[in-house]
Amino acid sequence: MADKIKEDGRNALSMDAIAEDLFGLNIRGLRSIFVLWVHPKRYFAAARTPDWGNRYTPSIRLWLTFFALFSALKIWWIGGNEGMIGAYANGFAQSGMPLPEGMTYEDIGKETVLWVFGLWPILQIISMVLLSLVYPFWGERTTMALRQRYFFAVIVPSASLMPVVLTIMLFVPGNMLNLYGMALAVVSLFVAFQTGYRGGFEKVSGFQKAWRVGLLAVIVVVLNILTNIIIQIVGILVISQKYGYGPVG
C-alpha cells in the first residue's frame, strides 16, 4: 500500500508540477487565464472571496508569471531582435559615438537592448503594483487587497499576449518599431477595456461603468508607454556613459 501511494505521488508530479516549479503556472493558472478571456465575470466574482473560490490562481501571481516567462526567454528574444538592435546601432552611429576597439555599433546596440530588457520588468512591476493599490474608481467600496485583485485581473489578458508580441517583434524592421508600438498600445487598450467591462465594475452600469473602465485602461497604457520611454532613455544613457560619450542626440 505504501509503495502504491509513493507511486501515485510520483505520477502526480507531472508536467503540471514542472510548470508550477518553473513559472508558477499550472493547470489552475491556465484555466484562470482562459476564464478571464471567455468568462471574466466568474473570475472577478471569485476575486471577492478569500481563496478565489478555490478555483482560480490569484491575478497578481498570473501577471508575475509572464514576467518569469519573459526572464526565461529573454536571451532568445534579445539575440534575434535585429530590428531593435539595428535601431539603437544606427542611433549611436549617426551620433558619432567612437567605437571601442574590437566592437561594432551592432555590439553596442545589442548591449543597449540587454539593458532595456533587463530594466523593463523591474520598472513595470513597481509601477503597476503601486497603481493597483491606489486606483479608486471601482464603483464600490474596496479594500487595498481587493483593488489589487481587480486591477491585475483587468490586465492579465493583455499580459498573456506578451510571448506572442515579443516573438513577432523579432521580425519587425527597426524603422517600423514605433508603428508596431502604437499598434500594441491600441490592442492593450482594447483588451483591458473589454476585460474590465465584461467582468468587473459590477456595481455600476452603462456610462458609469464605461468611463471607469476606460480611465483605467488609458492610465495603464499611458503608464506602459512612459515606462518604455524612461527605460530606453536610461539604457542609452548607461551605454553612452560606459563608453565615455554624451547622450545620443
pLDDT tens, position by position, 14-23: 555 555 555 5
Please, what's the b/e burial string for 35-50 (b: 16 or more CB within 10 A of its CB; e: otherwise)? bbbeebebbbbbbeee
pLDDT tens, position by position, 115-163: 888 888 889 999 999 999 999 999 999 999 999 999 999 999 999 998 8
**pLDDT at 84 exceeding the cut of 50:** yes
Using pLDDT thresholds of 50, 70 and 90, give the confidence band for residue 27: confident
Q: Which whole number is the average pLDDT over 70-98?
A: 77
User: Higher confidence at residue 32 or residue 181?
Assistant: 32
* Mean of per-residue pLDDT scores for the chain: 84
pLDDT tens, position by position, 185-228: 999 999 999 999 999 999 999 999 999 999 999 999 999 999 98
Question: Where are the chain's structural domains?
Answer: 59-242
Q: Cell 478565489, residue?
A: 52
Q: Cell 559615438, residue?
A: 97
CA dist 241 and 236 (Å) reads 9
Entry pTM: 0.82
Using pLDDT thresholds of 50, 70 and 90, give the confidence band for residue 7: very low
Using pLDDT thresholds of 50, 70 and 90, give the confidence band for residue 48: very high
Contacts for 52 with CB less than 8 Å, ≥ 6 apart = 46, 58
- 66 CA to centre of own chain: 6
